[in-house]
């Protein structure tokens, strides 16, 4: 049995946390274990700001801060021969890091990927040496060492799954079969030209799913700082409760629409190989966490969980009888796709078509739309600062009157529903409200449909 265990930034964020995580790995009953880790908490943000520095003195200070953080952590965790061995590998990685910060080519579109992915190289090295100091046969491996291939735009890559699986069969699988515990960098893969490409913020969950896919693992465990997949973001709703079991579809929709506990693309690589996924709390390893798998039976919860995607915007294009002119709609979508803009929702009426996109994509989208012949478009309106609420539940779409109940809760929050998508997915009801009302709506929905039902 192969288990891939991924630990997030907070779980590897201090010497105490690293020790706790090493104990979880050692005590885990799986025969073969593969570990994936994020950078220590705060490090990726620090690297993102470092990548924007131009002043050499500032860069040197950043290099020193980065070095102190990792060396001090390591020295609190192991000493003697293990520390000496660690320093050899550390120096090699650190020399490369220094030259990227001091001499890297800032004009390279993938420069930020290179800088921001550096933190994982050091957290994994430390964790591997903690395991060694506990007598475990462990090796620290980078994404390039084990063959994770990536493609896509800067800061937004995705894995090339078939190529990764082929490479892993040679570079990683034999080690795992021999009982070694590899500790692998999350967050990025390598492009064809041997440059690192990150999978977007929070991408180590996705890395772990890609590794589980490549190894045909039996289980993927995402170890984080909360009790599992919860009924809402516990930072927004402190009374949120842990969900015992979810289907791949439910988890995928919620992750895509903002449940930060899983990177939006985590589910697909494991779903396609039928690999179950557990979300567990590294601060409470004895707790059961949440199991995500092919869940056949219903659990009878009307509302299981809500997620929110913030900072969105509605673009409404008016054109006479546009729905009778499908080619016109196709042209609009084609224009938007030239910028790879993600459309989170779409609705049409006789003379309008409306798209929900991220605030950051508005400027480029407007430029593209303005290239369409003015005679074809009457007006384009932009409604800024809206958010999409994704509500997932077993009976949400099949029980008569539930959407009515949901919208009456929205009314209680005095929020206007700007857009609705019901029926597009089998498991979720999505609707758009102004950003200023999001917290109120979620609080009321959660109280009525989750807390009051406990």
Near ligand ADP by CB under 6 A: residue from 196, 202, 203, 214: 202
The answer to whether residue 138 forms part of the interface with ligand ASP (CB under 6 A) is: no
| Burial of 137 from C-beta contacts in 10 A (0-12 / 13-18 / 19+) | exposed
Using alpha carbons, select from 171, 183, 176 the residue that is nearest to residue 140.
183
Q: What is the DSSP letter of 254?
A: H
The answer to whether residue 226 forms part of the interface with ligand ADP (CB under 6 A) is: yes
The answer to whether residue 9 forms part of the interface with ligand ADP (CB under 6 A) is: yes
39 binding partner (options Mg ion, ligand ADP, ligand ASP, none; Cβ < 5 to 8 Å by kind): ligand ASP
From CA 52, how far away is CA 57, in angstroms rounded?
A: 13
From CA 388, how far away is CA 281, in angstroms rounded?
A: 27
418 binding partner (options ligand ASP, ligand ADP, Mg ion, none; Cβ < 5 to 8 Å by kind): none
Near ligand ASP by CB under 6 A: residue from 204, 305, 319, 365: 204
Least distance from ligand ADP to the Cβ atom of residue 95, Å: 28
Coil, helix or strand at residue 59:
helix
Contacting positions for Mg ion (CB under 5 A): 8, 202
Residue nearer to Mg ion on the CB measure, 8 or 157? 8
The answer to whether residue 277 forms part of the interface with ligand ADP (CB under 6 A) is: no
From CA 160, how far away is CA 56, in angstroms rounded?
A: 37
From CA 261, how far away is CA 58, in angstroms rounded?
A: 34
Residue nearer to Mg ion on the CB measure, 147 or 157? 157
Least distance from ligand ASP to the Cβ atom of residue 17, Å: 14
Contact predicate 440/415, CB 8 Å = yes
186 binding partner (options ligand ADP, ligand ASP, Mg ion, none; Cβ < 5 to 8 Å by kind): ligand ASP
Tokens representing 37 are 């880790």
Angle CA 307–310–314, to nearest 5:
115
**DSSP per residue over 147-159, as a string?**
T-BEEEETTEEEE
Least distance from ligand ASP to the Cβ atom of residue 43, Å: 7
Residue 295 vs residues 291, 299, 446: alpha-carbon distances, Å: 9, 10, 23
The answer to whether residue 44 forms part of the interface with ligand ASP (CB under 6 A) is: yes
Least distance from ligand ADP to the Cβ atom of residue 1, Å: 24
110 binding partner (options ligand ASP, ligand ADP, Mg ion, none; Cβ < 5 to 8 Å by kind): none
Least distance from ligand ADP to the Cβ atom of residue 235, Å: 4
The answer to whether residue 114 forms part of the interface with ligand ADP (CB under 6 A) is: no
229 binding partner (options Mg ion, ligand ADP, ligand ASP, none; Cβ < 5 to 8 Å by kind): ligand ADP
Using alpha carbons, select from 120, 111, 289, 127 the residue that is nearest to residue 204.
120
Site for ligand ASP, rule CB under 6 A? 8-9, 38-39, 44, 119, 186-187, 201-204
């Amino acid at each position: 049995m192969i288990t891939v265990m991924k630990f997030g930034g907070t779980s590897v964020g201090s010497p105490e946390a690293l020790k706790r995580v090493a104990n979880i790995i050692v005590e885990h009953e799986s025969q073969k274990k593969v570990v994936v880790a994020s950078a220590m908490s705060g490090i990726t943000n620090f690297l993102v700001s470092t990548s924007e520095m131009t002043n050499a003195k500032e860069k040197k200070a950043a290099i020193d801060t980065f070095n102190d953080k990792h060396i001090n952590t390591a020295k609190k965790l192991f000493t003697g021969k293990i520390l000496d061995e660690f320093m050899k590998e550390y120096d090699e990685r650190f020399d490369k890091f220094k030259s990227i910060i001091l001499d890297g080519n800032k004009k390279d579109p993938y420069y930020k990927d290179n800088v921001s992915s550096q933190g994982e190289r050091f957290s994994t090295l430390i964790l591997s040496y903690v395991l060694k100091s506990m007598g475990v046969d462990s090796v620290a491996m980078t994404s390039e060492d084990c063959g994770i291939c990536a493609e896509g735009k800067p800061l937004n890559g995705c894995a090339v799954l078939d190529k990764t699986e082929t490479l892993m069969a040679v570079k990683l699988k034999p080690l795992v079969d021999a009982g070694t515990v590899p500790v692998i960098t999350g967050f990025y893969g390598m492009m064809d030209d041997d440059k690192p490409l990150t999978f977007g913020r929070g991408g180590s969950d996705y890395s772990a799913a890609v590794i589980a896919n490549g190894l045909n693992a039996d289980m993927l465990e995402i170890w984080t700082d909360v009790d599992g997949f919860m009924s809402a973001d516990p930072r927004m709703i402190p009374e949120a409760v842990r969900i015992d079991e979810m289907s791949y579809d439910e988890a995928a929709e919620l992750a895509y629409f903002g449940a930060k506990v899983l990177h939006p693309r985590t589910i697909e690589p494991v779903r396609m190989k039928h690999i179950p996924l557990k979300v567990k709390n590294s601060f409470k390893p004895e707790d059961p966490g949440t199991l995500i798998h092919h869940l056949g039976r219903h659990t009878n919860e009307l509302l299981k969980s809500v997620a929110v995607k913030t900072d969105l915007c509605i673009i409404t294009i008016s054109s006479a009888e546009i729905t009778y002119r499908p080619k016109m709609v196709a042209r609009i979508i084609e224009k938007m796709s030239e910028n790879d803009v993600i459309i989170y929702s779409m609705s049409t009426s006789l003379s309008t078509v409306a798209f929900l996109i991220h605030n950051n994509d508005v400027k480029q989208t407007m430029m593209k739309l303005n290239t369409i012949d003015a005679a074809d478009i009457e007006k384009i309106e932009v409604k800024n600062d809206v958010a999409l609420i994704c509500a997932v539940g077993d009976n949400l779409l099949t029980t008569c009157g539930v959407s009515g109940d949901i919208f009456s809760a929205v009314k209680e929050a005095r929020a206007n529903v700007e857009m609705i998508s019901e029926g597009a997915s089998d498991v979720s009801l999505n609707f758009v409200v102004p950003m200023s009302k999001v917290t109120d709506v979620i609080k009321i929905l959660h109280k009525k449909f989750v807390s009051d039902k406990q």
